[in-house]
Amino acid sequence: MAKETVLVSGGAGYIGTHTTVALVEAGYDVVVIDNFSNSEPSAIEGVEKILGRKITFEEVDTCDKEALRKVFERYDFSTIIHFAAYKAVGESVSEPLKYYQNNLVSYMNILELMKEFKRPNVLFSSSATVYGNAEVLPVTEQTPRQPATSPYGNTKQIAEDILRDCCNAYENFYGIALRYFNPVGSHPSALIGELPRGVPNNLVPFITQTAAGIRECLAVFGNDYDTPDGTCLRDFIDVVDLAKAHVAAVNRMVSGKMKEKYEIFNVGTGTPLSVLELITRFEKANNLKLNYKIAARRQGDVPAVWADTTLANNELGWKAERDIDDTLRAAWAWEKHVRGIK
C-alpha cells in the first residue's frame, strides 16, 4: 500500500521542521514547501540528518497561487498542514497590512486549491492567543474567544472562522485547528530548533541567547501581575510533543475518525509556569546563571493563560510527555550547536 502523503507549508520553520520529522517517523511521506522568508535552508538539512534521508522540498511562496498550483499538480496528497505565516506579535501591531496580506492570502490560496483539486483535509496551526485575557482558567475549547490583542492574533481568529465556514459549505472538506500554547525546546539531537532572526520575540530563545552571551540581559516584562510571583503564567509545551499532536490529528483525519467536519483542540501541558520559574528551571537544568532584570509590562501580554487538554488527550489519544527540564536542556544544546559553543 502506498504511503499517505502530507503537504507541509512553512515546513522549514520551527514547528514545521519538528512536525516533518514526526510525520516521517510515523510512516507518512512528506512534501515540504517554504520560501525561507523567516527560516533557513539549514533547517531542511537538519531534518534530513535526523531522518538519515532526503525529503521532498520545493521553494514556494504560498502567496504565489500559480506556484502553489504547480505543487498541487505535481503531488498527490489528501492532507495539508498549514504553518506558513508571519508570527511576530509586535511587528503585526506596527505593520498590520503586511500580516493580513501574508497570513490570509497564503491561507486562502491553499483552501481554494484544496477545493479545486478535491483534497479533503487541512490542519491549521492556530494559537492560544485567540483566547485573549480569558476570565476563567484553564481554557477549554469552549472558552469564548476574546477580541484579538494584535493583528497577528486576529489573523488566527479569522483563519479559524474561514476554515469552519469552508467545512460547513463544501462537501468532502474537513478541518482541524490546533491551538498551541507556548512551544519551547528543540529536537533532542540538537540538529533543529528555534532560529529567530534578529531580536527574539519568544522567551526561551532570549534566555538561550543571553546564556550564550549574544544578549547582554534578559528583560522580564512586569512583576506586578496578579500571579503567585508577579510574572506572567504560561503553558510551555515541548515542540517535540507539539509535533506529535499534529501526527495524531493527521491520523484522525485520514482514518475518517473525525466526529465533526471542523474540530478544535488545545495543545498544551495543562500546567502553568511563571516566567521567573522558567528562568530558574533553565538555570538549574543547565547549571548556569542568567543576567536578567525586571522591565515594564509589555503591551498585549495577558497575565495568565494555560490549557485544559482533556479533549486532545481523549479524542486524539495524545498527551504532553516531555519534562520541562529536559526541554530546557534541549533548548540550550540547540543554542550551543548553532553558536558552535562546546
**pLDDT tens-digit map of 64-104:** 999 999 999 999 999 999 999 999 888 999 999 999 999 99
Strands 174-180 and 262-267: what pairing?
parallel
Give the up-direction half-sphere exposure of residue 120: CA atoms within 13 A in the CB hemisphere. Answer: 12
Contact 330, 187 (CB under 8 A): yes
Query: Which grid coordinates are listed for 66?
Result: 500559480
Question: How far apart, in whole angstroms, are the C-alpha atoms of residue 304 and residue 14?
Answer: 24
- In terms of residues, how long is the chain? 342
Strands 5-9 and 79-82: what pairing?
parallel
Task: Centre a 10 Å sphere on the Cβ of residue 317 and count the other Cβ atoms it contains.
Answer: 11
Question: How far apart, in whole angstroms, are the C-alpha atoms of residue 94 and residue 151?
Answer: 9
Residue 149 confidence class, pLDDT cut points 50, 70, 90: confident
Residue 181 has a pLDDT of: 97
Query: Which grid coordinates are listed for 292?
Result: 536578567
Cβ density class 158-183: b for 16+ within 10 Å, e for less: bbbebbbebbeeeeebbbbbbbbbbb
Residue 2 confidence class, pLDDT cut points 50, 70, 90: low
Mean pLDDT for all residues in the chain:
96
Q: Assess whether pLDDT exceeds 90 at residue 199.
A: no
Place of cell 480569558: 134
Summarised one tens digit per residue, pLDDT across range 15-49 is 999 999 999 999 999 999 999 999 999 999 999 99
Cis amide linkage into residue 41, ω under 30° from 0? no
Residues in CB range of 309: below 8 A, 6 or more apart: 266, 267, 268, 269, 270, 319, 320
Contact 32, 11 (CB under 8 A): yes
Summarised one tens digit per residue, pLDDT across range 221-256 is 999 999 999 999 999 999 999 999 999 999 999 999
Residue 3 has a pLDDT of: 84
Give the up-direction half-sphere exposure of residue 22: CA atoms within 13 A in the CB hemisphere. Answer: 25
Instruction: Provide the 3-class DSSP secondary structure of residue 293.
Output: strand
Residue 201 has a pLDDT of: 83
Give residue 113's identity as a one-letter amino acid code. L
Contact 292, 210 (CB under 8 A): yes
Summarised one tens digit per residue, pLDDT across range 259-281 is 999 999 999 999 999 999 999 99
pTM over 0.75: yes
**Residue among 121, 11, 119, 114 nearest 56 (CA):** 11
* Residues designated as active site: 152
Residue 198 has a pLDDT of: 87
Query: Which grid coordinates are listed for 79?
Result: 492532507
Q: Assess whether pLDDT exceeds 90 at residue 1.
A: no
Question: How far apart, in whole angstroms, are the C-alpha atoms of residue 246 and residue 269?
Answer: 15
DSSP 328: H
Give residue 153's identity as a one-letter amino acid code. G
Residue 62 has a pLDDT of: 98
Q: Assess whether pLDDT exceeds 70 at residue 213.
A: yes
Q: Assess whether pLDDT exceeds 90 at residue 305.
A: yes
